[in-house]
Amino acid sequence: MSDHENVNVESPRAPVSQRGHLVRVPADQRASGALVEVAIDGLEVQVPIGTTILEAARKIGVKIPTLCYHDDLCVAGVCRICVVEVEGQRTLQASCAYPITAPIAIHTHTRKVRQSRRRILDLLLGKHYGECYACFRNGNCELQALAAGCGVDFFRFGHPTAPLHELDSSSYSVLRDMNKCILCRRCVRTCIDLQEVGVLETVHRGDKTTVSTFMNKPLAEVICINCGQCINRCPTGALGAADPTDDVWRDINDPSKHVVIQTAPAPRAAIGECFGLPPGTPLTFEMNSALRAIGFDKVFDTNFTADLTIIEEGTELILRLHRALVDRQPVALPQFTSCSPGWVKYIEHFYPEMLPHLSSAKSPQQMFGAVIKTYYAGLHHIDPADIVTVALMPCSAKKFECNRPEMAASGHKDVDYGLVTRELAQMFKEAGIELPKMPKSGFDEPFGTATGSGVIFGATGGVMEAALRTVLELVSGLKVENLYDHADILPVRGFEGIKYAEIRIPRLGTVPDILRMNAQLPFDSWAWLAGATLKVAVCHGTANAKRVLEDIKAGGKLSECHFIEFMACPGGCLGGGGMPIPTNPEIRAARARAIYAEDAAYEVRKSHENPAVLRLYNEFLTGGPNGHTAHRLLHTTYTPRGKYIA
């Protein structure tokens, strides 16, 4: 995994001071003068020059409390909780922001340090409104933990007894409660530096300082893409996801409703974290039992429609390529993936002129909703009006996506509620379910079969790998296992911000039956692809998306790509805004390992081999991939939103 995943030191907004101290760490640690001796609380350690005091302390197991510091973000040095005494310095120094360039002696818990830390905390608590009992972060709050760790037993500077700010619940995805904000600015650094979206910024000064949107407009009225990365990095309950669990409980308890849930792959690899298990402990099958136990009528696997997405999006790509290469018509290439709703809203706001590149295929979540309220409703003779579809997602943007007005081709909302990992864990806890101890059970028919290709949608590069497995087999007629060991297409895996790969088509087979179901297919042999090399790219995090789009606009190397996977969140879905808190590169890597291990364990690992998908085409989507029914139910349109804020 790359050293600099997500730490966007090249961002123009990353403070120059940070860029300065990061580059000074020598690459060759054996060079003379590259290491420097420090003594932390009497423990001596050698660290590379430029290492911060905090990093050095962590190395030897000395714990310095932090608040505004975050592994994913550029250094701010503003909360001052991590101050330590450096011998010879008149003032205390913020350990997160102090690069060691000379031998120094550091003391992390002197009287001065403890008194300062405690008073800084007292000052923060004096402005933090809210009772811990009534907060969704109770038990998982850094401010609360800090207060416990520092032995806070009274409010030295008082405690607000009434709210000072109104709750912003305008967004389908993100809830903002400025009463709980402690101005650590992690959300600002997430939004501006990590994601380069720039919805949140610090405004005013002195004790009037606050974090605000443009002109303090509600989140629903600004260019927020709903990625929720700010939620994952907020130390308190100032940012959260808009929580639909009350509605879900109500519908579960309503006997006239048939409530089904689809579960996406990423939450399964992470929900264990909410029950004290280490990151990367998959609980897929325990979760199925737990979902039935709390009253869901059916439990489906979103991987099913991930496979469907691959077929639809892959077919769309093949048709676009044919129009471009054979018909010589102007076609928007490269084609962009459309399964990340944060990314979709990003391009709608920031690059509306590039929307034709976006695949018209709905995301797996929405495809599933549409299939349930049509095909499944017909199969089981249930009035779709009585079906409630819930989607368990790693993603706060999915909440917005399911409320898009265009997502109701069946005449009913495709998906009624988007539930995120944290919320489901809370529902389990409320029901007294100890998830890790649940028995294992499978998914319900008729969508019970899924493939490994669907699972890896949860990691950056996964959609591309799944698509490549299918496209390579459909075109070449070869088993992809014969081309790549275990069908693992490694060039598109990993956490690099932008990955590029060229995949040569090894030979041409015959056009498979599944594509021939589409009567409008404009070719009956692959001859037009003779000697072709597929150029693809993968990126995650909207800051990287911006670089890819700018490169395409400038006619750079990526403009020659045929297909590009975009994920709004760093790491892909496993780093989604609905995932358990905290997050950092190690946690995301552990989740990724769980996802790829699950893929490797599947018998069927390629979307086009999924028998349930094939049955769906044979019985229901009879026009084949991209055919009439598929187009009506499984494809969508986009809105060029631009950046104008009324």
Partner 1 sequence: MSLGHQGLVTFRMIDPDAGLAAALARRPAEIVAELTAARLKGRGGAGFPTGVKWSLAAQAASDVKYVLCNADEGEPGTFKDRVILAEVPDLVFAGMTIGGAAIGASKGIVYLRGEYAYQRQPLEEALARRRAAGQLGERVLGTPFAFDIEIRMGSGAYVCGEETALIESLEGHRGEPRNRPPFPVDAGYLGRPTIVNNVETFACVTAIMAKGAPWFAAIGTEKSTGPKLFSVSGDCARPGVYEFPMGLPVSELLREVGGEDAKAVQIGGASGRCVPASAFASTICYEGISTGGSVIVFGPDRDMLRVAKNFMEFFVEESCGQCTPCREGNARLLQGIAMLEDGRCSAAYLAELTKLGEVMQLASKCGLGQSSPNAFLSIVEHFRDEIMGRTYAAAR
Q: Would you name the residues annotated as active-site residues?
A: 313, 316, 339, 359, 398, 401, 406, 573
* Beta strand extents in 309-413 (DSSP E only): 335-336, 387-393
CB nearer to partner 1: give 54 or 466.
54
- Based on the number of CB atoms within 10 Å of its own CB, is 273 exposed (0-12), middle (13-18) or buried (19 or more)? buried
Residues in binding contact with partner 1, number by CB under 8 A: 42
Quickly list H helices, 358-496: 364-371, 377-380, 397-401, 421-430, 452-455, 462-476
Among residues 48, 65, 77, 272, which is the contact residue for partner 1, using CB under 8 A? 77
Q: Which x/- pattern, by CB under 8 A, does the window 303-342 give for partner 1?
A: ----------------------------------------
CB nearer to partner 1: give 65 or 77.
77
In angstroms, rounded to a whole number, what is the distance separating the alpha carbons of residues 261 and 330? Answer: 41
89-128 binders of partner 1 (CB under 8 A): 91-92, 94, 97-99, 101, 112, 115-116, 119-120, 123-124, 126-127
Among residues 30, 111, 204, 328, which is the contact residue for partner 1, using CB under 8 A? 204
Name the region of 149 (left: φ>0; alpha: ψ -120 to 50; beta: rest): alpha
CB nearer to partner 1: give 107 or 632.
107
C-alpha 165 chain-centroid distance? 29
248 binds partner 1 (CB under 8 A): no
Among residues 40, 56, 64, 79, which is the contact residue for partner 1, using CB under 8 A? 79
Query: What φ, ψ does residue 96 adopt, rounded to 5°?
Result: -70, -20
Tell me how many helices (H) and strands (E) the chain has: 22, 17
Quickly list H helices, 477-584: 513-516, 542-553
Q: Which x/- pattern, by CB under 8 A, does the window 139-178 give for partner 1?
A: -----------------xx---------------------
73 binds partner 1 (CB under 8 A): no
208 binds partner 1 (CB under 8 A): yes
CB nearer to partner 1: give 29 or 115.
115
DSSP 8-state symbol, 160: -
H or E stretch covering 48? strand 43-48
205 binds partner 1 (CB under 8 A): yes
CB nearer to partner 1: give 152 or 532.
152
183 binds partner 1 (CB under 8 A): yes
Q: Which amino acid is at 507?
A: R
127-146 binders of partner 1 (CB under 8 A): 127
**Min separation Cβ 196 and partner 1, Å:** 16
- First-to-last C-alpha distance (Å) of the chain: 43
- Label residues 14-40 b or e (16+ Cβ within 10 Å = b): bbeebeebbeebeeeeeeeebbbebeb
**Min separation Cβ 122 and partner 1, Å:** 9
Structure tokens at 641: 């939103």
HSE, CB side, 13 Å, CA atoms: give it for residue 592.
19
C-alpha 48 chain-centroid distance? 33
CB–CB of 7/194 below 8 Å? no
Among residues 47, 57, 76, 104, which is the contact residue for partner 1, using CB under 8 A? 76
10-29 binders of partner 1 (CB under 8 A): 15-21
CB nearer to partner 1: give 81 or 471.
81
CB nearer to partner 1: give 111 or 437.
111
Can you say whether the dihedral through the CA atoms of 586, 592, 595, 601 is positive or negative? negative
**Min separation Cβ 430 and partner 1, Å:** 35
Given the rule CB under 8 A, which residues bind partner 1? 15-21, 75-81, 83, 91-92, 94, 97-99, 101, 112, 115-116, 119-120, 123-124, 126-127, 156-157, 183, 185, 202, 204-209
